[in-house]
């Protein structure tokens, strides 16, 4: 396992594969029993992993409960990230869900008890609720940092314009910065490349990518009749092989994997890592974890990346259809587009 800084607003050193704990527990009817969760956790730690991602609602709180037991006596060895926004139990109502400060505080207090810790290292707002002003969200994060209950703040599954506004509010007001961005990103979900990934890079955010395997689709296992997330989570967080392009993606992925002598899943995770985000692996079994961890050793060639990029390419959207058009670029570079070296990092 290798380590990197989490974005440009922290000195936090994290492993290059993140362990997602959404499968820790069985209260959703699909997941890993506590003992299997322990085996997964121990193997991840033994491989050098130090970045754990969970949420208040994963397995209706059981994921945090299991992690609370597993972290006992070694809490400082891990970066612990959790989330708020969704209900933690089926009984949770309208006042303790969403992005409001009330929901944030109630969720964090409950999470700290389940996790058996005095602070959460990175708190994500799990998803934009579309109604809470970002001023309230940013101030809530800052209050929790000042109270010592969280160390860093991040946004998961937010539109790019809201991410940019929140980061700007925090910067101008001198509050705790928005440090991280969490998005879905895989060979079968590349729409985040239009706005979210460029925004995250330009703003200096640490970026993590959930579902790098497309809910298991990119392992090829569903072609063999396996079920997994396709049925276990009622079809949620699952990308189906439901188009000619997706079939071509999987065919190409399998061909590249065979050429490299590894599994399709390893190639899929390595491709996400090659694009910059830290992949979140979410194994349900020890065998799945071991396969996921092997991706850290895969170094894709430029030709392999090009093949995967080409088969999974998405159509550009406005305004990039205009901005990036050859004639337009010549216009705003005074006819020197071919001689002008664009910066590697997007400019905010």
Enzyme catalytic residues: 58
- Cα 263 to chain centroid distance, Å, stands at 22
Q: How many whole angstroms separate alpha carbon 32 and alpha carbon 66?
A: 11
Q: What are phi and psi of 158, to 5 degrees?
A: -110, 150
Do the beta carbons of residue 34 and residue 286 sit within 8 Å? no
3-class DSSP state for residue 171?
helix
d(CA 337, CA 348): 20
**What does the radius of gyration of the chain's CA atoms come to, in whole angstroms?**
20
Beta bridge partners of 80: 52
Which residues sit opposite 150 in a β-bridge? 120
Q: Which letter does DSSP use for residue 296 in this model?
A: G
d(CA 128, CA 158) in angstroms, rounded, equals 5
Roughly how many angstroms between the first and final C-alpha of the chain, as a whole number? 31
Cis peptide before 205 (omega within 30 of 0): no
Asked whether the beta carbons of 179 and 153 are under 8 A apart, the reply is: yes
């Amino acid at each position: 396992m290798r380590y990197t800084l989490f974005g440009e607003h922290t000195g936090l050193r994290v492993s290059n594969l993140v362990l997602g704990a959404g499968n820790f527990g069985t209260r959703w009817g699909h997941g890993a029993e506590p003992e299997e969760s322990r085996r997964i956790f121990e193997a991840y730690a033994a491989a050098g992993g130090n970045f754990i991602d969970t949420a208040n609602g994963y397995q209706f709180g059981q994921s945090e409960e299991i992690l609370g037991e597993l972290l006992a006596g070694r809490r400082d060895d891990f970066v612990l990230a959790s989330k708020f926004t969704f209900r933690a139990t089926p009984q949770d109502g309208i006042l303790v869900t969403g992005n409001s400060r009330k929901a944030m505080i109630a969720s964090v207090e409950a999470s700290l008890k389940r996790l058996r810790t005095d602070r959460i290292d990175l708190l994500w707002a799990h998803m934009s609720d579309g109604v809470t002003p970002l001023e309230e969200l940013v101030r809530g994060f800052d209050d929790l940092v000042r109270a010592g209950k969280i160390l860093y703040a991040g946004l998961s599954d937010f539109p790019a314009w809201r991410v940019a506004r929140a980061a700007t509010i925090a910067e101008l007001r001198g509050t705790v910065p928005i440090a991280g961005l969490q998005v879905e990103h895989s060979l079968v979900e590349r729409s985040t490349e239009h706005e979210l990934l460029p925004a995250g890079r330009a703003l200096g955010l640490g970026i993590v990518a959930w579902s790098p395997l497309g809910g298991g689709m990119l392992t090829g296992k569903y072609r063999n009749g396996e079920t997994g997330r396709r049925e276990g989570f009622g079809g949620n967080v699952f990308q189906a092989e439901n188009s000619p392009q997706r079939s071509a993606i999987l065919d190409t992925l399998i061909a590249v994997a065979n050429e490299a002598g590894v599994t399709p899943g390893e190639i899929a995770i390595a491709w996400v890592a090659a694009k910059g985000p830290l992949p979140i692996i979410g194994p349900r079994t020890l065998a799945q974890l071991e396969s996921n961890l092997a991706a850290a050793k895969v170094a894709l060639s430029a030709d392999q990346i090009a093949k995967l990029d080409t088969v999974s390419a998405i159509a550009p959207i406005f305004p990039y259809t205009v901005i990036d058009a050859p004639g337009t670029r010549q216009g705003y570079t005074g006819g020197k587009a071919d001689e002008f070296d664009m910066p590697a990092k997007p400019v905010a």
